[in-house]
A and B are shown apart, each in its own frame.
Chain A
Amino acid sequence: MISLDTTKCIGCCSCSNVCPNKNITKEDLGDKRTIRYKKCSEFCDICVESCPGKALILAAQGEDVEIAFDLVRCTVCGEPFATGKMLDRIRSSVPEDLRVDSSGQSWVEICPMCRRGLERERAARPVINSRA
């Protein structure tokens, strides 16, 4: 059985992803992410090993737990894309000077799809101008 430290959970997709018995499920609905932990009787610790926040530990007693996160919206397209704690984790693991693009804009708050779009736009602009 497992026990969850809700202060350490960053709301990523690891545990729900690796659980072989689907005892942990993740649901994104609008700008809310809910992760549900069913009381499990398995003798495995894959989720514990796979947690980037070390929020899970093996425990003698277990119970159904649910944790919810607000998803942060992309500053470009406005779509919800990650939990605030996941973005905090990026800010703490990537040095500040690497978290800005060539124009000095922070890219952490932009969703990956829009980052690709901006990258494409940057690369295409000189060619488009030369073809105008």
Chain B
Amino acid sequence: MPVYVDVSRCIGCRSCEVACKRVHSGRSYMEVKVIDSRASVPVTCHHCEVATCTMACFSQALSKDGERTAFDIHKCTGCGLCALACPFGVVWTDKWAHKCDLCKGLESPICVITCPAQALSLDPDAAPKRARTRAAAAVALAQGDKR
């Protein structure tokens, strides 16, 4: 159950980043950047089914908890191996590791709640569903014009 991103809807406002920072004591587990002035992409933990970060973590601070890739700061030594084992570079380490926890305790991740453009969702089918709705609306409108 990761946070799914619809890049075509992201407006690059970085509200998700700010909200994430607010909830996680001043650290954001999400990073938004603009590419070629044409698109913006937020990147965050994918909560991989087979999570390579958990394989590299020797202290069991990172582990799979259902669909979530959970992190226990009390077990972390700050070795930095997880950051090097993440294919997407979305486990950060300074003194300790930090990464997306899907806002455990909140009804929904704060980035999903906050995104004003509805670019973030917990539903992998959110983008195709919207495309279908738009297509259906366009068809209905065209038919209405004919009448």
Which A residues have a C-beta under 8 Å from some C-beta of B?
12-14, 17-18, 50, 52, 82, 86-87, 89-90, 93-94, 98-99, 101, 107-108, 111-117, 119-121, 123-124, 126-128, 130-132
Q: Is B13 part of the contact surface with A, judged by Cβ < 8 Å?
A: no
On whether the beta carbons of A17 and B78 are closer than 8 Å, the reply is yes
B-side contacts of A108, CB under 8 Å: 84
* Contact size range, B: 35 or more
Q: Do A13 and B78 contact each other (CB < 8 Å), given the known contacts A86-B84, A113-B89?
A: yes
Which B residues have a C-beta under 8 Å from some C-beta of A?
5, 7-8, 31, 33, 35-36, 38-41, 43, 50, 52, 55-56, 58-59, 77-81, 83-93, 95-96
For the complex, what is the distance from the CA of A57 to the CA of B39, rounded to whole Å? 52
The prevalent SS among residues of A at the interface is helix
Q: Do A17 and B95 contact each other (CB < 8 Å), given the known contacts A90-B56, A119-B89, A127-B38?
A: yes
A-side contacts of B39, CB under 8 Å: 124, 127-128, 131
Most chain A C-beta atoms within 10 Å of own C-beta, residue among B52, B59, B85, B96: B85
A-B contact pairs, 20 of them (CB 8 A): A12-B80, A14-B78, A17-B79, A17-B95, A50-B77, A52-B58, A82-B80, A90-B81, A90-B84, A93-B81, A94-B55, A98-B50, A98-B52, A112-B83, A117-B89, A120-B43, A124-B7, A126-B7, A127-B38, A128-B36
